[in-house]
Structure 1
């Protein structure tokens, strides 16, 4: 029956294209700040509640994103984002580097009217130079764990590769407090989650691509490489299709459990020979916007102990690089299928001077949801598995990513 439904869907889909978006992998903001010796001071100055109180008076009264204790760092963790690609906005096109983020649903880029220091270091949208720009007049606010973003809404033509999306709603940021966006290599964010997650009113980009029928299939898929300079491609987003050359074996399909994030039910998380987490089941979000794997604090703190990770003053967990071969495998069971990561895959190795530092790829995220405990499967997980996001049948496909032999 499922196969028949898929055939019927594809037979009635009249899209005309697929487009490949090359993704660049660069050091995360966290890694850059650490290298510069600025990470500890940065984290002290950017605790969410402190940031709320400091900047709340700068935003319109009643801005929903300014509610104290609202835990938005749960998904908007751009401190650890690594993969970016190019789009353009306006006519003639103005180019921007954006995170293609399955953990959010908004498109925003810096405005030429932005008053923040961060905007001076990035490309800014000049609405007055675009012949197709339509002013909206409404404002929006997005609360990130490292600061708040305020902007105004508009509509314009957006191009991704050879695809053109007409009358796309997007945000122009005019205020980006905090140094996280100063350090960021990206200009903005293009969210690929469901419309119900959007802060900006209107259709997200992929929803408009579906409405305008400009993709071959109502799916998009990600390939994220392990290596950086020697990998070709470093990463790739395919809009409108699946690339069978990017994975081995068959695809395991998982139904979306809640149409908000790309959220699925997870059977359990098993640490080799040392127990398991969420044995009665929980939920997981597949999120290309963060490089880490996140889970409830209680579970992740125990997991850090099981892999021999010790805390630092910055809230990170370090591991002795010489012990990697002795660390346990960690398995995520989704839809009855095991997805196993070795220590070489869940430990982030970063050069620091002449030495390497090894960091745990797990981080505590406490997400309050009606569905109960939530895990975030970020790039540490998605690097190993080709991921397919199917809006036609509201499901996610996972297959073993095909990486060059190292």
Structure 2
């Protein structure tokens, strides 16, 4: 890494004593759409550039899922085993750790276009980048609108303000309660499809000793 950077005034600024803040780095990637995988008629790069995905695990024994991070919603949902239209995806199954809240909920999010999901609220442990959040509320979706098939993901984690959540608590609130600073940063890379999401700190350098 370079030891100095050029400031707006043209003066070099020493970076050798600067260190990155503590944060949790989550490997993420731009998802392919099913349309892009099956047909090459019209490139959909502009809409793909808006989304990052990552891996999470849920429950005991853990089930692995690919989720999309959505900065425009606050709710977390996964396709469930009861979703007939979700075949071909990893779907949330009942486990010894899941708690059924017996509350039916309809959620709406917008990822390039409106997506409506419907299902049962449950609570289970979600693990992301080594951080486990017990009793996290999420929607086990048994109905997912056709628009969601454009994104090859098993569900969504909303990172927006908790004020717009439909289920309590949001995953972002749970991260803060677990001691992670309530800050997240998207770190895109122009030279590769792999990107990062930092939780618990911004993507800046700060003065060290």
- TM superposition score category, shorter chain reference: 0.7 to 0.9
With normalisation by structure 1, the TM-score equals 0.40
- How far apart, CA to CA, are the structure 1 residues paired with 2:38 and 2:49? 11
Pairing partner for 1:91 from 35, 43, 60: 60
Partner of 1:177: 145
Partner of 2:40: 35
Once the two structures are superposed, what CA deviation does each residue of 1:106-155 show, in whole Å capped at 9, x if it has no partner?
Answer: 10011011122xx112100112xx22211101111123545521111000
Name the CA distance, whole Å, in 2 between partners of 1:82 and 1:29: 14
- For normalisation by structure 2, the TM-score amounts to 0.75
Q: Report 1 or 2 for greater relative contact order, CA contacts < 8 Å, sequence distance ≥ 6.
A: 2
Matched-pair contact (CA < 8 Å) for 2:57–2:127: yes
- Could you list the per-position Cα deviations for residues 348-368 of structure 1 after superposition, in whole angstroms to 9, with x for gaps in the alignment? xxxxxxxxxxxxxxxxxxxxx
Is the CA contact 1:153–1:172 (under 8 Å) kept in the aligned structure 2?
Answer: yes
Distance of 1:146 and 1:34 partners within structure 2 = 23
CA contact (8 A) 1:29 1:80 kept: no
Matched, 1:113 2:79: no
Structure 1 or 2: larger helix share?
1
SS in 2 for 1:237: strand
Q: Which has the higher strand share?
A: 2
The equivalent position to 1:196 in structure 2, one of 148, 158, 163, is: 163
Q: Is 1:224 aligned with 2:188?
A: yes
Give the deviation of 1:227 after TM superposition: 3.4
User: How far does the alpha carbon of each residue in 1:80-125 deviate from its partner, in whole angstroms, 9 at most, with x for none?
Assistant: 6432111111112111111111111010011011122xx1121001
Q: CA deviation at 1:182?
A: 3.0
Instruction: Report the equivalent of 1:21.
Output: 26
Query: How do residues 236-255 of structure 1 correspond to structure 2 at under 5 angstroms?
Result: 236-244=196-204
Aligned residues: 181
1:156 to 100, 114, 124: 124
Point out where structure 1 has 5 or more consecutive residues left out of the alignment. Answer: 1-16, 40-77, 250-406
CA separation of 1:24 and 1:91: change in aligned 2, threshold 3 A: same
